[in-house]
Amino acid sequence: MNDPNFLPSELSPTILAVDDNPRNLQLISSLLTAKGYKVVVANTGENALKYLAIRQPDLLLLDIMMPGLSGYDVLDQIKQNQDIHDLPVIFLTAKSELSDIVKGFAMGAVDYITKPFKSEELIARVDTHLELRKMRDQLARKNKDLEQLNQALNESHEIIRQDAEQLSRINAEKDRFFSIISHDLRNPFNGCLMATEILATRFNELSQDEVSAFINALYESATNMSKLLENLLNWAQLQMGTLKTNIGLILLSPLIAEAVATQAAGINAKNISLHQHVLPELSAMADFRMVDMILRNLLTNAIKFTPAGGEIVVEAGQTEQETWISVRDTGIGMNPALQQKLFRINEKVSRPGTEGEQSTGIGLVLSHDMAVRMGGRLTVQSTENKGSIFFLYLPKAALL
């Protein structure tokens, strides 16, 4: 084959020619095969549709006037089939009326060739539309590649956005963490320093009552520093993943009683009534130490923000899914805006207690994170000037 435009067989497009005239089919097949195209022929519209149901050619040469299904009927079914609706169709027709040509284009034909056709015209139109098909397919592939690239870019942007948000959150947490260390830890430390300085330099000048007052102040400052440092250390370990969790079956009644007993001094100092309502057999699947720390933080806060003569109630129970512990007080309560910030380390929620007690908010942040670590949650309901109730929900264990 000396034709420079001849196509190698592995690159040859496939053309389906449909005509009820065998001579037309023979001529079309001869001309296009000589150009290197693969040609498949069908003598009825029905046979053409059977072939199209099996495989899709690159181009369809379709006679209009045929017995049975006409070329219009075949094209109509092609356009309704999503698998082959974009197949380029060139009508072969003896009809040359403008209305017939317009109808063919309106139905989706890409071109038409009138019979009897010239060999050069047939080949030129076939070449042109196959080249257009090739370019369209290349464009579709490039568009698909661009869509995939764009999707990957969007995913990268989302990852960057999430990383930026996480970095911003970490920086905010770091700033809040160091703020607590530099500011909230300084106050009790300065109290200790002042009390020890006076005791060291003026001990012989002080009365017994004055010495006792300074020692009490020293004890109170040291206690506050100890609690704050313990919370800060545990929260830092929790964030780094080094705080070990030992989940097991725990009885709540003795645990709650012990946590309440540790708060006796604060309860007595403010003459607060404290009541417990916990069934002795009630249990949960949790870490004993973490639950104990959460309860102590909740009780410390309840005492701190409850006026003298107020009331605190600790209760526990079960739903079908969870075990819960609640700590309710008759304290100063919180507005909704403050409640939204309560469990976030990067939000400053510290405020003094009813008698000026210092508060950093780190205890509630730690308690919330510990609850989540155990597979539970910590929530709050509160109304200003009417008190608050904190609920600790834990994975349920069967009654013993």
- Locate the DSSP E strands across the chain: 14-18, 38-42, 59-63, 89-93, 111-114, 247-251, 273-277, 283-287, 311-318, 322-329, 377-383, 387-395
10-140 CATH fold:
Rossmann fold (3.40.50)
Its CATH architecture, for the domain 244-400, is 2-Layer Sandwich (3.30)
- pLDDT for 399: 47
Residues of the chain with CATH 3.30.565.10: 244-400
Of residues 124, 160, 122, the one with CA closest to residue 29: 122
Residues of the chain with CATH 3.40.50.2300: 10-140
State the 10-residue block means of pLDDT for the chain, 400 residues long.
46 90 92 92 94 93 92 93 91 78 87 87 91 88 90 88 78 62 63 80 83 78 72 70 81 92 88 92 90 90 92 92 93 89 70 71 82 92 93 77
- pLDDT for 8: 45
- pLDDT for 185: 63
What is the C-alpha separation between 271 and 311, in angstroms, rounded?
Answer: 9
- pLDDT for 30: 92
- pLDDT for 9: 44
Tokens of 35: 């150009």
Tokens of 208: 């017994």
Q: Which residue has the tokens 């703020």?
A: 179
Instruction: Using alpha carbons, list the distances in angstroms from residue 306 to 139, 241, 380.
Output: 72, 34, 16
Torsion of CA 221, 226, 231, 233, to 10 degrees: 130
What is the C-alpha separation between 225 and 185, in angstroms, rounded?
Answer: 6
Residue 318: what are its φ and ψ, rounded to 5°? Answer: -140, 145
